[in-house]
């Protein structure tokens, strides 16, 4: 989701608590629209990422750096001139605007103390980083906006800085009485509220009431959730849906159709949510759908109660990991799309072939009946009268009387030969189809295992071996003269709660290597029963495994299988020495004849994963 004012408030609070009082020791501009500030404070060093990228503007604390150009851009040099070793006096957000003010104090050339502002505007394609003096006069900006580009506001050196009022929106923080008390200077117990530190008070703070809410919503003939985020600053569509859900209102109903009870519920919910923002009671959370990040928010999203929620202690950590996961997931999906399409096409073709062969196999089920008819005609045919169209005889295999249809133009011996010919033809067809059907079924299982490997892939290097396997199987044309690609992908590595190392293959080649080269005979082997999935190896080091490790390894085998969305998955497990690979078998295919089994859920949330 896009940054909304509530997320900005969360970031501002975190930055204020972490960076206020610190000094800027390094300023870098890795990209044309991005700054990386290194701040020292309280004996620690922090990196603050400020990005005004039109497609993905971001502000967060990060632990990693980025390479900078050899020659620093002009904006970066200007900031270094003024702000090198500057002290961060305050970090604030005006209302619920998607704007953060860094108030800075530094010494000028004469040694006098001066104040400057670094303003970060997180507004999609209008995002910018603006450097102002203490009178809000623009010194420079990372993006220059002239009157030819925008008729609302010029962002150029020498111009006055102001927040453009392009939309008729109200400040939702004015619904919060605690905030109103602080804004009016009331001496209350809430004076220690963290909000006083990161939310600025620049405008008239006459509190908004239930009557105001009613007037604002009834004036907009549109769905309630849309009326909310188009009426009030800082609310995203997702957060507007959340407000409706908490108030027990259908967010898609017309806003002008709300009765007084619904309006009161909505008013109370909005006040409660704004009180959370003012008090700094943030709970950064990422919502997952099918193991992929779906949404994030700084307040709980109860509207997604049926989805998986992962809380974070830090909004910066959430943003860094969310966009990294989102980017990785999207990139892997894009990079694997061609492979997935090739596999899916081949799979559909083989499934159709298998269905046709199965139907043809069913047609050969009559072959034994025709053989028996031929034998009975040879035995009892002497008693058949010429021109008879059928014959009744005792089937000496079942002691039942059967009626045998006859061709009245043929002798009993010729009828018997006709039935034997049908039997022979069906028998040959059955034998040929039995072999072909087994081959096609094996190919289907192989292709399904590759699809599962594509679902498991988390990095681009994980696709290398899958592409190589498809080339070896003839689904992808090999490039002539191409050098062999270096394989850098490694199996997943986990450690159980009892300290045992567990390895999970990401594809069929890794499965074979784990099982037959890495594991020894005494290690334990796990796999989902009769469905595609990863080979899971638990290294025993000669020790007995506790029950908890068996269960955790089984959960990993369930999670990294085609059945990962099921409530329970049946898992086979046995000693590695009892797992065999038939000669000529496809990658990842094994057989075993004695095993234990357990049904377990594919929840691996409590198992520690080690970086490989």
Q: Residue 361: its pLDDT value, please?
A: 86
Averaged pLDDT, 529-543:
95
Quote the strand ranges of 521-595, DSSP E: 524-528, 536-538, 569-575
Q: Residue 610: its pLDDT value, please?
A: 87
Q: Residue 188: its pLDDT value, please?
A: 40
Q: Residue 109: its pLDDT value, please?
A: 82
With contact defined as beta carbons under 8 Å apart, do 99 and 121 qualify?
A: yes
pLDDT value at 543 more than 60: yes
> What are 325-380's pLDDT values in tens digits?
766 666 677 778 889 899 999 999 999 999 998 888 888 888 889 999 999 999 88
Q: Residue 54: its pLDDT value, please?
A: 84
Which is nearest to 557 in space by CA: 577, 576, 580, 531? 531
Phi first, then psi, for residue 166 (nearest 5°) are -90, -15
Query: Pick the residue with more confidence: 373 or 186?
Result: 373
Phi first, then psi, for residue 321 (nearest 5°) are -75, -35
Helix axes 237-246, 224-231, angle to 10 degrees: 120
Which is nearest to 21 in space by CA: 116, 108, 86? 86
Mean confidence (pLDDT) of the chain:
88
* CB-side neighbour CA atoms (13 Å) of 140: 11
Q: In whole angstroms, what is the distance from residue 99 CA to residue 551 CA? A: 49
Which is nearest to 119 in space by CA: 144, 84, 94? 94
Among 165-174, 191-200, 298-307, whose mean pLDDT is lowest?
Answer: 191-200
DSSP sequence for 238-266: HHHHHHHHHTT--TTSBGGG--HHHHHHH
Rg (CA), the chain: 36
Q: Residue 48: its pLDDT value, please?
A: 95
Q: In whole angstroms, what is the distance from residue 302 CA to residue 238 CA? A: 11
Q: In whole angstroms, what is the distance from residue 56 CA to residue 58 CA? A: 6
Phi first, then psi, for residue 442 (nearest 5°) are -65, -40
> What are 448-489's pLDDT values in tens digits?
999 999 988 877 788 888 988 888 888 888 766 555 666 778
DSSP state at residue 479: P
Six-digit token string for 38: 């290194």
Q: In whole angstroms, what is the distance from residue 592 CA to residue 530 CA? A: 12
Any idea which residue has 């072999």 for tokens?
Answer: 435
- The sign one gets for the Cα dihedral 212, 215, 221, 224 is positive
Q: Residue 236: its pLDDT value, please?
A: 92
pLDDT value at 202 more than 80: no
pLDDT band at 38 (very low <50, low <70, confident <90, very high): very high
Q: In whole angstroms, what is the distance from residue 178 CA to residue 393 CA? A: 100
Give the chain's count of helices (H) and strands (E). 14, 22
pLDDT value at 15 more than 50: yes
pLDDT band at 168 (very low <50, low <70, confident <90, very high): confident
Q: Residue 329: its pLDDT value, please?
A: 67
Averaged pLDDT, 382-402:
88
The separation between the first and the last C-alpha atoms of the chain, rounded to the nearest angstrom, is 31
pLDDT band at 178 (very low <50, low <70, confident <90, very high): very low
pLDDT value at 299 more than 70: yes
pLDDT value at 599 more than 50: yes
Strand partners for 501: 495
Q: Residue 301: its pLDDT value, please?
A: 92
> What are 208-245's pLDDT values in tens digits?
888 889 888 888 889 999 999 999 999 999 999 999 99
Averaged pLDDT, 2-20:
92
Averaged pLDDT, 133-157:
92
% of residues, the chain, pLDDT over 90:
58
Averaged pLDDT, 305-319:
90
pLDDT value at 426 more than 80: yes
Q: Residue 41: its pLDDT value, please?
A: 94
Length of the chain: 612
% of residues, the chain, pLDDT over 70:
92
Q: In whole angstroms, what is the distance from residue 529 CA to residue 532 CA? A: 8
Any idea which residue has 């910066």 for tokens?
Answer: 316
> What are 51-88's pLDDT values in tens digits?
998 878 889 999 888 888 889 999 999 999 999 999 99
With contact defined as beta carbons under 8 Å apart, do 129 and 141 qualify?
A: yes
pLDDT value at 162 more than 70: yes
With contact defined as beta carbons under 8 Å apart, do 586 and 556 qualify?
A: no
* Strand duo 608-610 + 492-495: pairing: antiparallel
Q: What stretches of 312-411 show up as alpha helix (H) in DSSP?
A: 315-363, 367-380
* Strand duo 87-94 + 199-200: pairing: parallel
pLDDT band at 185 (very low <50, low <70, confident <90, very high): very low
Three-state DSSP class for residue 286? strand
Q: Residue 46: its pLDDT value, please?
A: 95
pLDDT value at 186 more than 50: no
Six-digit token string for 55: 């497609």
């Amino acid at each position: 989701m896009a940054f909304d004012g509530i997320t900005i408030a969360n970031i501002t609070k975190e930055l204020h608590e972490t960076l206020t009082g610190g000094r800027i020791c390094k300023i870098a501009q890795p990209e044309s629209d991005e700054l990386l500030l290194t701040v020292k404070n309280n004996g620690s060093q922090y990196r603050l990422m400020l990005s005004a990228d039109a497609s993905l503007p971001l502000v967060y604390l990060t632990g990693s750096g980025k390479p900078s150009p050899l020659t620093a851009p002009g904006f970066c040099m200007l900031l270094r001139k003024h702000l090198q070793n500057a002290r961060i006096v305050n970090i604030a957000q005006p209302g619920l605007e998607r704007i953060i003010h860094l108030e800075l104090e530094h010494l000028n050339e004469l040694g006098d103390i001066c104040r400057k502002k670094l303003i970060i505007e997180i507004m999609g394609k209008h995002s910018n980083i603006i450097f102002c003096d203490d009178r809000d006069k623009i010194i420079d900006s990372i993006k220059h906006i002239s009157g030819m580009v925008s008729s609302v506001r010029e962002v150029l050196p020498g111009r006055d800085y102001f927040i453009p009022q392009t939309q008729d929106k109200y400040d939702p923080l004015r619904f919060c009485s605690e905030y109103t008390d602080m804004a009016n200077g009331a001496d209350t117990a809430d004076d220690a509220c963290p909000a006083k530190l990161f939310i600025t008070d620049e405008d008239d703070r006459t509190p908004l009431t239930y009557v105001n809410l009613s007037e604002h919503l009834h004036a907009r003939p549109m769905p309630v959730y849309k009326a909310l985020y188009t009426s009030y600053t800082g609310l995203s569509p997702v957060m507007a849906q959340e407000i409706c859900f908490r108030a027990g209102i259908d967010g898609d109903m017309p806003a002008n159709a709300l009765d007084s009870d619904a309006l009161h519920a909505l008013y109370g919910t909005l006040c409660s949510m704004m009180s959370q923002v003012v008090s700094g009671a943030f709970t950064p959370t990422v919502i997952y759908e099918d193991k992929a990040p779906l949404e994030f928010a700084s307040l709980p999203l109860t509207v997604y109660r049926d989805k998986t929620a992962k809380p974070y202690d830090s909004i910066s950590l959430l943003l860094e990991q969310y966009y990294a996961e989102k980017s990785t997931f999207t990139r892997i999906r894009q990079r694997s799309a061609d492979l997935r399409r090739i596999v899916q096409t081949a799979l559909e073709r083989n499934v159709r072939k298998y269905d046709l062969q199965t139907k043809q196999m069913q047609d050969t089920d009559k072959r034994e009946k025709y053989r028996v008819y031929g034998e009975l005609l040879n035995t009892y045919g002497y008693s058949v009268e010429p021109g008879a169209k059928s014959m009744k005889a005792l089937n000496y295999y079942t002691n039942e009387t059967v009626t045998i249809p006859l061709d009245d133009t043929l002798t009993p011996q010729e009828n018997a030969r006709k039935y034997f010919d049908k039997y022979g033809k069906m028998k040959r067809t059955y034998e040929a189809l039995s072999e072909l059907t087994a081959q096609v079924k094996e190919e289907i299982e192989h292709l399904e295992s590759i699809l599962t490997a594509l679902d498991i892939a988390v990095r681009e290097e994980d696709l290398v071996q899958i592409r190589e396997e498809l080339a070896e199987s003839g689904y992808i044309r090999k490039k002539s003269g191409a050098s062999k690609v270096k394989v850098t992908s490694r199996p997943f590595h986990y450690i159980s709660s009892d300290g045992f190392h567990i390895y999970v293959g990401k594809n069929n080649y890794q499965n074979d290597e784990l099982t037959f080269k890495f594991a020894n005979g005494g290690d334990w082997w796990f796999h989902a029963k009769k469905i595609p999935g990863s080979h899971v190896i638990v290294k025993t080091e000669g020790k007995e495994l506790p029950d908890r490790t068996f269960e955790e390894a089984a959960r990993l085998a369930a999670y990294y299988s085609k059945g990962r969305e099921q409530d329970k998955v049946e898992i086979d497990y046995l000693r590695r020495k009892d797992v065999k690979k038939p000669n000529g078998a496809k990658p990842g295919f094994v057989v075993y004849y004695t095993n234990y089994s357990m049904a377990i859920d594919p929840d691996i949330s409590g198992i520690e994963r080690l970086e490989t």
